[in-house]
Amino acid sequence: MESANLHYFEKAPIAKAVAHFALPMMLGTSMAVIYSILNAYFLGTLNDTAILSALALTLPLFAIIMALGNLIGIGSGAFISRLLGEKKYEDVKHVSSFAFYSSLVLGLIVMAVGLPLIDPIVHGLGATADSFGFTKDYVTIMLIGSPFVVLFFTLENIVRSEGSAITSMVGMILSVAVNIALDALAVFVLHWGVIGVASATVVSNLVAGVYFAFHMGYKSSFLTVSAKWFKVSKDILSNVFKIGVPVFVMSVFLGAMSLIFNHYLVEYGEQAIAGYGISSRLLQFPEFILMGLCEGVVPLIAFSFTANKLRMKHTISFTIKTIVGLAVVFGVVVYLVSDHLIGWFTNDPQLIEMGSYILHVTFLSLFITGMTSLFTGIFQATAQGTAAFVMSVVQGATLIPVLFIANRMNGFHGVVWSLVIADAVAFLVGAILLYALRNKLQPDLEQLAQ
């Protein structure tokens, strides 16, 4: 297993190496989106717009819990890949053990702090009188299960960082499969509604987390969950958090953006919120496939950054071409069939009209968000903490003024278009930062001479 992973890191042709790292991640993320869509479908069968609204309102909370997993997971994962490139295998064990135990502690802190504040949290999410009870049920279960959710997102990144892309994919698909099965059981057999759907999410994350932990403990040549390797040092903390903190800030900003966006949409009725919830889930499918591509190549870029910068440059170039091709294909397909997609989830004519409109507009920024994800991945992989932090702030902070101005100028249409405008600004900033860092990322002269 060790030599196989190192082969893809070091010697395999670029296209084959990118496929090895990215395809499992793309498949895993696409399965997660299929689950998200089915999740909305299962609750949609209850024919209650307030339930679909509650599902949309809880997205910011899930984003924050996921962000804590990525805080440790992406920061540790990028560091592990760079350490593998330097062949510092003992340090890899220290970092992986640190990631495992610190993610559990973070999840316990979220649960301890969140549960006593449950009502203010639900009000803060923007729940209306109709959706308050459903939203509170979902939030309660998510807070109780937050240690398992944080652990899942951490370990998925850690396993992928050593090159075990197939194991990462299997864990993600396992989570989705368990989730779908439990969703169907909770909604159609046990009639538990929102509580059942939220519980299914937590249990599926626990199952996949155990799978990843087993791999790290018994199958991996590099990683471990053993407490004897647990170590907190200045080197580990600085390398994990200089990448992890920008990831966390970006995720919190994205959660805040979703929250603020929902508050603006409330002005235009429950149909607007539910329409955004459905259309955003449909948009997640191509977005997450592109994100899977960009996140999938991060370990390869990080390893090559310390081992072979010329290989890193070729990897980035190939990934850009792939993003362009995928964005064109998805754009054509969705514009041909989008009018029928929203109708899968509801028979409310106004909801179908609003959801279809939001889907058409937000799809315009598909290529932009793909490239922005790649820019961010490059900064994470190459330990450019400042650039990663700037990207995280820009992606979050841009939407707020744009949303305010666009809503004033053009109402509902302005609110929807603000997403595309904010994405375009983030893309431009990322491109400028990458150009500014070009000298740090250039191959050495001896590598160019090879």
pLDDT value at residue 275 = 76
The total of other beta-carbon atoms located within 10 Å of residue 43's CB is 22
pLDDT value at residue 255 = 66
Which residue from 293, 299, 303 is spatially nearest to 28, judged by alpha carbons? Answer: 293
Contact of 440 with 384, CB cutoff 8 Å: yes
Structure tokens at 17: 């190496």
Q: Residue 47: what are its φ and ψ, rounded to 5°? A: 55, 45
pLDDT band at 383 (very low <50, low <70, confident <90, very high): confident
Q: Is the pLDDT of residue 1 over 60?
A: no
Across the range 177-184, mean pLDDT stands at 90
Q: Is the pLDDT of residue 284 over 80?
A: no
Q: Is the pLDDT of residue 40 over 50?
A: yes
How far, in Å, are 239, 309, 340, 418 from residue 180 at the CA level?
37, 42, 23, 33
Q: Residue 408: what are its φ and ψ, rounded to 5°? A: -65, -40
Chain mean pLDDT for the chain:
84
pLDDT value at residue 4 = 61
Across the range 258-269, mean pLDDT stands at 75
pLDDT value at residue 262 = 74
| CA pair distance 305, 157, nearest whole angstrom | 18
Q: Is the pLDDT of residue 449 over 50?
A: no
342-363 tens-digit pLDDT: 777 777 777 777 777 888 787 8
- Residue 401 vs residue 349, higher pLDDT: 401
Spans of all domains in the chain: 2-442
pLDDT band at 448 (very low <50, low <70, confident <90, very high): very low
pLDDT band at 443 (very low <50, low <70, confident <90, very high): low
- Residue 223 vs residue 250, higher pLDDT: 223
pLDDT value at residue 285 = 77
Q: Is the pLDDT of residue 446 over 50?
A: no
193-243 tens-digit pLDDT: 788 888 998 999 999 999 999 999 999 888 999 999 998 899 999 999 988
- Residue 17 vs residue 337, higher pLDDT: 17
121: CB partners within 8 A, 6+ apart: 61, 114, 139
Residue in this structure with the two tokens 């296209």, named with its chain if needed: 15
Across the range 85-109, mean pLDDT stands at 93
User: For the chain, what is the HEC assignment?
Assistant: CHHHHHHHHHCCCHHHHHHHHHHHHHHHHHHHHHHHHHHHHHHHCCCCHHHHHHHHHCHHHHHHHHHHHHHHHHHHHHHHHHHHHCCCHHHHHHHHHHHHHHHHHHHHHHHHHHHHHHHHHHHHCCCCCCCHHHHHHHHHHHHHCHHHHHHHHHHHHHHHHCCCHHHHHHHHHHHHHHHHHHHHHHHHHCCCHHHHHHHHHHHHHHHHHHHHHHHHHHHCCCCCCCHHHCCCCHHHHHHHHHHHHHHHHHHHHHHHHHHHHHHHHHCCCHHHHHHHHHHHHHHHHHHHHHHHHHHHCHHHHHHHHHHCHHHHHHHHHHHHHHHHHHHHHHHHHHHHHHHHHHHHCCCCHHHHHHHHHHHHHHHHHHHHHHHHHHHHHHHHHCCCHHHHHHHHHHHHHCHHHHHHHHHHHHHHHHHHHHHHHHHHHHHHHHHHHHHHCHHHHCCCHHHHCC
Contact of 94 with 175, CB cutoff 8 Å: no
Percent of the chain with pLDDT over 90: 31
Q: Is the pLDDT of residue 102 over 90?
A: yes
The highest-confidence range among 106-120, 246-260, 277-291, by mean pLDDT, is: 106-120
